[in-house]
Structure 1
Amino acid sequence: MVELTVEEAIAAERIFGDRRDLAKRYVEHLATSGIERGLIGPREVPRLWSRHVLNCAVVAELIADGAKVADVGSGAGLPGLCLAIARPDLYVTLIEPLERRVTWLEEVVMDLGLGNVGILRARAEAAIGKVECTVVTARAVSALDSLAQLTIPLLGGKGVLLAIKGRSAGEEVTKAAKTIKKLGGVQTEVVLAGADILEEPTTVVRIKVARR
Structure 2
Amino acid sequence: MSEQADPQRPEEAEATPQLTDSERNAAQTLFGDRLALAERYVEHLCTTGIEHGLLGPREVPRMWSRHVLNCAVLGTVLEAGVNVADVGSGAGLPGLAVAIARPDIEMTLIEPMERRVDWLSAVIADLGLDNVQVIRARAEEVTDEVMADVVTARAVSALKKLIPLTVPLLDDDGQLLLLKGRSAGEEIEAASKVIKKQRLRTPEVLVLGADLLEEPTTVVRVRRR
Q: Which runs of 5+ in 2 are unaligned?
A: 1-12
Report the counterpart of residue 170 of structure 1 in structure 2.
185
Alignment of 1:184-203 (within 5 A): 184-203=199-218
In the aligned structure 2, how far is the partner of 1:157 from the partner of 1:15?
29
Instruction: Report 1:55-204 matches (<5 A).
Output: 55-204=70-219
- The alignment yields a C-alpha RMSD, in angstroms, of 0.9
Scaled by the length of structure 1, what TM-score is found?
0.97
Give the partner amino acid of 2:47: T
CA distance in 2, matches of 1:28, 1:43: 15
TM-aligned CA deviation for residue 157 of structure 1: 3.5
In the alignment of these two chains, the number of paired residues is: 210
Q: Which runs of 4+ in 1 moved over 3 A?
A: none
Identity %: 62
Normalised by the length of structure 2, the TM-score is: 0.91
Aligned residues of 1:157 and 1:184 also touching (Cα < 8 A) = no
| Counterpart code for 2:216 | P
Q: Judge conservation of contact 1:169–1:205 (CA < 8 Å) in 2.
A: yes
- Could you tell me which amino acid in structure 2 is paired with residue 152 of structure 1? V
Structure 1 residue 26 and structure 2 residue 22: aligned?
Answer: no
Q: One-letter code of the match for 1:93?
A: T
Match of 2:30 among 12, 15, 20: 15
CA distance in 2, matches of 1:181, 1:43: 40
Give the letter for the 1:52 counterpart: H
- Offset at 1:65? 1.4
Quote the Cα distance in structure 1 between the aligned partners of 2:204 and 2:127.
Answer: 34
Unaligned runs of 5+ in 1: none
Structure 2 match to 1:46:
61
Q: Residue type matched to 2:122 in 1?
A: E
Q: Deviations over 1:115-163 (max 9, x none)?
A: 0001000001001121131000000000011000110111044311001
Q: Distance in 2 between matches of 1:154 and 1:181?
A: 18
CA separation in 2, counterparts of 1:184 and 1:157?
12
More divergent stretch after superposition (77-86 vs 56-65)? 56-65
